Amino acid sequence: MNTRIIIAAAIASFGSQLAFGQMGGYGGGQPPRTTGGQSQQMQTTTTKTVMPVGVKGYVDNVIGNSKDHKFHMTVNGKDLPLTPVKFHEEQKLGAGKSAMAVDMN
């Protein structure tokens, strides 16, 4: 019993390191190269991207980034601007999947 718990804990620990890329030697750790005795400075920029949650979050994100604040869709080669009217209740389909209907004009 105790050996099963220890083995499970070791596997979970190893799996979490792989999942988050924290395994030793992975991802570089090399010092920056210099050429001709001159050191080069690198500037890195980090941007925080917030992912929308669910269908409503996705539609709100697309509408917010649109110039005319509409949800654009291409139908038969033509652009169709839509405005959401009603978000219906989310339906659970099982296996971690769900569906949601949205009425649009």
Confidence at residue 19, expressed as pLDDT on a 0 to 100 scale = 46
- The CA-atom distances, in angstroms, between 22 and each of 4, 7, 9, 32, 65 are 25, 20, 17, 20, 35
**Of 9 and 105, the one with more pLDDT:** 105
**Of 103 and 48, the one with more pLDDT:** 103
Q: Hey, where are the domains in the chain?
A: 51-105
**Of 65 and 22, the one with more pLDDT:** 65
pLDDT at 33 exceeding the cut of 80 = no
Q: pTM for this one? A: 0.47
* Rounded average pLDDT over 17-35: 51
